[in-house]
């Protein structure tokens, strides 16, 4: 019987680093895609040079179609595909090269989501302050939200059906299978990878990254993080608040956690 790591590798179209010195888990918008262009270009170049030493994971609210557009748009300044992708706020795991979903990770989430949309959509239809996002996911519901119009009493009604509701960046409203988020999916992925947690650093900027920071793994909150996320810092002892924005903040955090040697 293959181990979970072997099963994971069999379901990917690329090989993973066998013994990575760093597992870098980055949000996209405002984090890996944030900051000044020179800092981004330099950081992307460094990532490309460290493919065998640094296992890179996107951990984003974007769906796979949107991630593909990001990689195409940022190709001129050097952003390469990661080894792995956690998308849809934790509801999708895919190979970074092909962006094909990984059944080992996706199938259990799919099972938890099955039948929920039919119960949830009647509650969400015509709700003031909500407009559907044009995403392509079968394991979450995603909306833009106007917090002044939105009826917050709707949240407990939805969650009674076995989902979690998440508002982030004061504009995004996600409905996810209960217990599924960026943090829970990341922890499952790390168990399958059989990596040392001390080699893992996460990075993010918005409230949908809070679940990553709540794992207890080393984390970098970049300098442009949203105020509601910054307010959580006192209860996140493993998270470093960077001054630099976007990629500059990630690099600052990696130095803080002792990975400066990877720049040698």
| pLDDT tens track for 161-192 | 999 999 999 999 999 999 999 999 999 999 99
Give the pLDDT of residue 264.
59
pLDDT digits 0-9 by tens, 98-120: 999 999 999 999 999 999 999 99
The correct answer on CATH 3.40.710.10 for the domain covering 4-11+20-109+180-263 is: no
Average pLDDT over the chain reads 94
Supply the pLDDT for residue 116.
96
Sole residue written with tokens 């709700």: 127
pLDDT in tens, 69-86: 999 987 778 899 999 999
Q: 139 vs 68, 127, 142, 149, 250, CA distance in Å?
A: 19, 21, 10, 26, 29
* CATH 3.40.50.1000 domain position(s) in the chain: 4-11+20-109+180-263
- Give me the pLDDT at residue 61, please: 96
Give the mean model confidence (pLDDT) for residues 200-224. Answer: 98
The dotted CATH code for 113-177 is: 3.90.1070.10
Summarised one tens digit per residue, pLDDT across range 1-49 is 788 888 888 898 778 998 899 999 999 999 999 999 999 999 999 999 9
Question: What pLDDT does 168 receive?
Answer: 93
Residues of the chain with CATH 3.90.1070.10: 113-177
In this predicted model, what pLDDT tens digit does every residue of 214-249 receive, in sequence order?
A: 999 999 999 999 999 999 999 999 999 999 999 999
Query: Would the pLDDT of 53 be above 80?
Result: yes
- CA distances, 109 to each of 38, 94, 101, 134, 173 (Å): 38, 13, 12, 21, 19
Whole-model pTM: value is 0.95
The per-residue pLDDT for 203 is: 98
């Amino acid at each position: 019987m293959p181990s979970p790591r072997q099963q994971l590798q069999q379901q990917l179209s690329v090989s993973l680093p066998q013994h990575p010195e760093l597992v870098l888990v980055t949000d996209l918008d405002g984090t890996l895609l944030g900051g000044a262009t020179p800092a981004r270009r330099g950081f992307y170049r460094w990532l490309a040079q460290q493919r065998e030493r640094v296992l890179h994971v996107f951990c984003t609210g974007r769906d796979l179609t949107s991630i593909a557009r990001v990689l195409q748009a940022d190709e001129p300044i050097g952003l390469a595909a990661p080894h792995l992708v956690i998308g849809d706020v934790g509801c999708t795991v895919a190979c970074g090269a092909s962006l094909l979903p990984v059944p080992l990770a996706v199938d259990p989430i799919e099972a938890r989501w099955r039948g929920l949309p039919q119960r949830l959509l009647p509650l969400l239809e015509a709700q003031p302050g909500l407009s559907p996002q044009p995403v392509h996911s079968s394991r979450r519901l995603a909306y833009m939200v106007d917090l002044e119009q939105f009826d917050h009493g709707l949240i407990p009604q939805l969650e009674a059906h076995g989902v979690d509701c998440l508002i982030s960046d004061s504009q995004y409203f996600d409905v996810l299978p209960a217990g599924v988020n960026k943090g829970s999916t990341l922890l499952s992925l790390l168990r399958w990878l059989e990596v040392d947690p001390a080699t893992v650093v996460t990075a993010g900027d918005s409230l949908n990254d809070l679940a990553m920071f709540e794992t207890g793994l080393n984390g970098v909150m970049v300098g442009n993080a949203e105020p509601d996320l910054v307010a959580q810092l006192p209860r996140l002892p493993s998270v470093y608040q960077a001054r630099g924005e976007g990629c500059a903040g990630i690099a600052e955090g990696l130095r803080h956690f002792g990975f400066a040697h990877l720049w040698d």
